[in-house]
Amino acid sequence: MEKVYKVKTRYVFEGTFEVKASDKEEAARLVLNDCGMVMCCGIQTTLDDDKIDWHFDIHPEKKIVSITTKK
């Protein structure tokens, strides 16, 4: 008889944002507050195109975090 397993998985997308800002703190704040990613829609930002650009791989690194038997 087959069992059901819960496989906790983490996908890691790594890349860079190039942000026009007055200092490091503002650059970090802009990325934290105005940039994000949604699986269905990719990278998103509310900043103007002349203020930001990004470079991310389209294929994430995949990591298995844990495997447990579902009860």
For 19-62, how does the pLDDT look when each residue is reduced to its tens digit (9 = 90+)?
Answer: 999 999 999 999 999 999 888 888 899 999 999 999 998 889 99
Residue 42: per-residue pLDDT: 85
Q: Which two tokens stand for residue 2?
A: 């087959």
Decide: residue 34, CB within 10 A, 0-12 exposed, 13-18 middle, 19+ buried.
middle
Q: Pick from 2, 3, 1, 5: which is nearest to 67 by CA?
A: 5
The whole-angstrom separation of Cα 33 and Cα 36 is 8
Model confidence pTM above 0.75: no
Sequence spans of domains, the chain: 5-69
SS3 label, residue 27: helix
